[in-house]
Amino acid sequence: MSPADVGHLSGKETLDRPTHEDMKSEKIFTVSGKHLLSEAAIEDATNSDSEELESRASGKHLLSEGAIEDATNSDSEELESRASNEPKKKRKINFTKDEDEAIADGVKKGLEWEVIVKVAHLQRTPNQIKERWRRMKEKDLVRPAKVRKIDEISSPYLREDETKAMDHINTRRKELEEEEERLRAKEMDLHTREQELNALEKKKSEREPGREDDMLKQHKKIICELSIREARQLREQARRIVAENSYRIGKIVSERHGTTYNDAWQDGHVFRELNLRIVQHNDKKEELEKVKRELTKKTKRIEMMEMRTPDIAKELENLQRERESLDIRQAYNRKEELDLMSEREGLSIEKNKHIREIKRINDEDASRWKDYPVLRERYVLLTLLGKGGFSEVYKAFDLQELMIVACKVHQLNTMWLDKKKENYMRHALRESQIHKSVVHDKIVRLYDVFEIDENSFCTVLEYCNGQDLDIYLKTQPVIPEKEAKSIICQIFSGLNYLNESKTPIIHYDLKPGNILFSDGEVKITDFGLSKIMEEDQEVMDLTSQGAGTYWYLPPECFEVSKEPIKISSKVDVWSAGVIFYQMLYGRKPFGNNVSQQKILQDKVIINAQLEFPAKPVVTQQAKDFIKRCLTMSQTMRPDVKSCFLDPYLKPSATTRKDKK
């Protein structure tokens, strides 16, 4: 039902009840032909002009400014006549019954006159319906039940439930205003915080440029001091252990021989006691042997006698008992001898480690870098790990990456000519370039290379917390085949990576001293003699004949020819085969206990014959693999990839089952 339909209702016409949407949009609905206002209309009218409502509640009929303006615009002639006090004949206006009920209903709901006109769609002016209401009250034309209720309450316009509704509305309005006030306060607080944050950001950006650098330097300094403090404690502990072992195991002393002094070993009390026990054991052994010889002679002399009396038979029986007792004593003596030999072997291994530690400490005390220097403002040198001909390797701490590294400091001889220094530097830089390009879990990483001064430079390497294979073989000369196989398999894994790179690399100096252990894993290091081959190149000229470790080099490296000697990755295959043989048998296959000079002079490697000792027992598959690696002919020898894929190095069915 449209608003126009509502406005034109007259008489006693009956209309259908409007929908909820109609009531909301029109704010009025009709029941039995009567104009009734909805609650929404009441609320709109109440909010629009609460002051008018209050004035009406007090019993005073006042027109709002809007009503006056409407009345002025609609009935200006009447207002002019009133203003000039000129009498004018009023025209009689007739109101219908529905209009009277709409006026009464609007007044009951506390609406202003102009609102009643608009909401009820009356074709009247506010002044006309106001006058009509006055006359209705005088003549009591309003419906008795409704009008009496309005007259009986304190306000002639409002009912008691409508007053409560107004109070509820005012309360909610007050709560909303308080909530708005809290939101405004929070917004102000947020705005203040944003301003403070912006001020801090501005302050941070305006700080001195070197402030952060100073803080970083301060942090580095603290870390450096802590690292040095720990290293100093470890040094003191190492020297304390050496002092204790020097008393227990022995020490190195200087002995004078004419005008020179030479280092000599002096046994400690443990070695002296062991040697004394060995001497006593040997004396006891000789005594038992002497008794045995006498018993044997006595027995033979009696047995040669022709007459065998009961006394002679009894004496032979006693000699036999003594012989059995002597055999038991000799068996016990042999067991005791084995124990003494085992103890002496263990002490010898401990002695070798002790001697190495003594030399390391002596080298550390004499080192130029002993006072914890910080190289390049980044690497603090802590503990000497080892010393070579022209280099020292230090355990160091990287203050930038916050990790342990190994710094290899190369020291050039100050007596060298400039050309020799230049050659050494070129060689070292070449090694660094080769090594830095290699990234594999079986190869020690190279992180950095830098110059310290005109006579020294440093290479920063991955730190390996274990020992090298050479030291391991000195403490355990013979390694079980399963363990040795695992080690050689990891070595070939690293060699295969070098061989499969775009420009294949020949290590050329593979030996136990260049095989490191780190957390149980094998890693190849020292690329000082490495050779880089061209892409798709199978062989290359050997330009450094005579370099390397002779026990581990193949025959082609010792050949003498007018033409340049050709080498390939098969050099590393031979070296790996020698290492595998040494791990299994506790000795080198060629030139064992022979000096490098004698190997070169006697052509030991060129004329070598491969032999396998009876002990320890090694599988035939391992021997066959060693034979393939140590093939004398370079052309017949398998390459790195073939050895890496060799069936012997593949996990066996048992191993795969165990892994599962």
- How far is the C-alpha of 170 from the C-alpha of 178, rounded, in Å? 12
- Token look-up 């803080």 returns 215
Topology of 469-659 in CATH? Transferase(Phosphotransferase); domain 1 (1.10.510)
Q: Give pLDDT, residue 55.
A: 43
pLDDT band at 473 (very low <50, low <70, confident <90, very high): very high
Range among 446-455, 528-537, 610-619 with highest mean pLDDT value: 610-619
* pLDDT given at position 660: 35
Position 140 scores a pLDDT of 57
Lowest mean pLDDT among 7-16, 135-144, 200-209, 220-229: 7-16
Whether the upstream peptide bond of residue 616 has omega within 30° of 0, thus cis, is yes
**pLDDT value at position 22?**
43
pLDDT number for residue 113: 87
Question: Average pLDDT for residues 567-574, to the nearest whole number?
Answer: 93
Q: Of how many residues is the chain composed?
A: 660
CATH number, domain 374-462: 3.30.200.20
Judge whether residue 118 has pLDDT over 70. Answer: yes
pLDDT in tens, 486-497: 999 999 999 999
Domain boundaries, the chain: 3-158, 237-366, 374-462, 469-659
pLDDT at 638: 95
Which residues, listed in sequence order, are joined to residue 517 by a DSSP beta bridge? 522
Flag whether pLDDT at 29 surpasses 70.
no
Equal CATH topology for 374-462 and 469-659: no
Higher pLDDT, 123 or 552: 552
**pLDDT for the residue 212:** 64
What is the per-residue pLDDT for 515? 96
- How many contiguous H segments (helices) and E segments (strands) does the chain have? 22, 16
- Annotation marks residue 509 as catalytic: yes
DSSP H or E segment with residue 273:
helix 269-303
Q: Is the pLDDT of residue 69 over 90?
A: no
The residue from 100, 509, 526, 572 that is catalytic is 509
The predicted pLDDT at position 237 comes to 96
Position 91 scores a pLDDT of 60
On average, the pLDDT of the chain sits at 80
Mean pLDDT computed over 13-30? 40
Structure tokens at 387: 């010393």
> Would you state the pLDDT for residue 159?
55
Average pLDDT over residues 306-320: 80
- Going by C-alpha positions, the residue among 357, 64, 144 that lies closest to residue 237 is 357
Q: Which two tokens stand for residue 415?
A: 């007596």
pLDDT digits (tens, 9 = 90+) for 584-634: 999 999 999 889 889 988 889 998 899 999 999 999 999 999 999 999 999
How far apart are alpha carbons 343 and 360 in whole angstroms?
26
Indicate the residue type of 630: L
Per-residue model confidence (pLDDT) at position 489: 96
- Convert the pLDDT of each residue in 136-194 to its tens digit: 877 755 544 444 444 444 444 455 667 777 888 888 888 888 888 889 888 888 888 88
Average pLDDT rounded to a whole number, residues 26-55? 43
Binding site per annotation, positions: 408
Higher pLDDT, residue 59 or 551: 551
Give the HSE-up count for residue 346: Cα atoms under 13 Å, Cβ half-sphere: 8
pLDDT band, residue 90 (cuts 50/70/90) = low
Annotated binding site for ATP: 408
